[in-house]
Amino acid sequence: MDRLILLLGLVLVQPAGADWKNSLKEGWSSTVEATKEGWDSTVDATTDRVKGLVSQSVEEKIDIPRERALELWDEVQELFEEITALKLEKGEAPERSLFGSTKEDYDEKITHILRDVSILMNDPEIEEERQTLEQLKVKIRQSEERASALRAKAVLAAGKERATLIERAAEHESEVEAYGESRRVLIRQVRERLSGYGLALNREQVEVLLSRVDVDDIVGMTTAFSVIAELTQQFSAATIASGENLAVARKYYGMHVILLELQIYIQKKYIEKLGGVYITKVDQLRDTNEALIDQTVALIMDSAGSYRQIYTNNLKTQKHTLKVLDLYRKILQKDMQKINLALQKVQQNYRVSLNTYQTVTVSADLALLMEKSRNLFNEVVSIQVPELVPFENLQIQREFESLTTQLRE
């Protein structure tokens, strides 16, 4: 019962708004120490809430991108109109100037807005759940360490003291079980949410995704591109509804062109981070690990007996880490190749769309091109799905997660 109470009251934490977010941050530490009586009074309500959230998650599965697009419609239009105005001003701006804004200055302003829009399109619920999963991982590790320390201390104790230490260790082990179950529930909810955006993954693939250093980039790209597809469809419908009013048709088609620019911006930023940050850090860790291997080999040659065995065991672990680093780098490189291929396709479509926009065609032609862009979106998404091969064993998974922590620091 205590375990169920801990599970329901602690971490079935589908975010419900700003209040829940604040309570999560402020009350996490004190939650574990809450009394059993306090939990008993809230179990029924929490259970009902959890059932409702899971049911809600299933219902939203199909409509998430559309709902998000509708939520963002007004704000996106306003930002895109701002970009359009900046583009017009850029056309009249000089290449260089001592006082006024240059073309480069306008490009920087447009890029800044595109960055804001890309952040705006991220799914806040997935982000909250991912952060909670990170906190759960920390809680699991802490409880495991406490249980292990108490078990070790109990070996040296006797009588009542020993029994007390064993009991306390068992409580922490129960916490580990509860945290683990809560983590599985959250992973299922993340999986359902991602499925609603068109990224269909099994549980093992979600585990791999969450262990990667670029998880935020992948999830952000997936959610943003899904919303872009829905906005493209809405702009297409608005263009058709405008009839022969070319001014209105151009307005919405101009926004469609900006959506393509947004896709290109997101893809380029991800490629930059893969090559300039993530893969670079993997290489740095690999160099450090290779130097450690050389040092350990030298120590083995100069040692004997039990010391030699310890160094040998260390060398085995270091070589395993080297293999995982090579695997990590290979995965990131393969993903960069995929995104580069997808980027080329989007750039081709962008050039056609921009030329058509500048040519000023009738609304029917514009709407047709938008629909083709939406079909291209589906192709692009299928290309840039990340490399999410499940781990072949638990040891590699733990090493992968450990390296991810180092890469983020």
- pLDDT reported for residue 291: 94
**pLDDT tens digits for range 319-371:** 988 888 888 888 888 888 888 888 888 898 888 888 877 776 655 566 666 66
What average pLDDT does the chain have? Answer: 76
The helix/strand/coil state of 199 is coil
Which residue has 């250093």 as its token pair?
213
- pLDDT reported for residue 54: 45
Higher pLDDT, 319 or 43: 319
> Is the whole model's pTM more than 0.75, yes or no?
no
**pLDDT tens digits for range 238-279:** 777 776 677 777 787 788 888 889 989 999 999 998 888 889
Residue 142's alpha-carbon distances to 9, 24, 134, 137, 215, in angstroms, are: 19, 18, 13, 9, 24
The domain limits of the chain are: 2-60+126-196, 211-408
Contact 2, 174 (CB under 8 A): yes
Contact 191, 206 (CB under 8 A): yes
Give, as one character, the DSSP assignment of residue 93.
S
CATH fold of 211-408: Helix Hairpins (1.10.287)
The helix/strand/coil state of 303 is coil
> How far from each other are the two terminal CA atoms of the chain, in whole angstroms?
39
Q: Is the pLDDT of residue 164 over 90?
A: yes
d(CA 228, CA 117): 11
**pLDDT tens digits for range 81-117:** 999 899 888 888 888 877 778 888 899 999 999 999 9
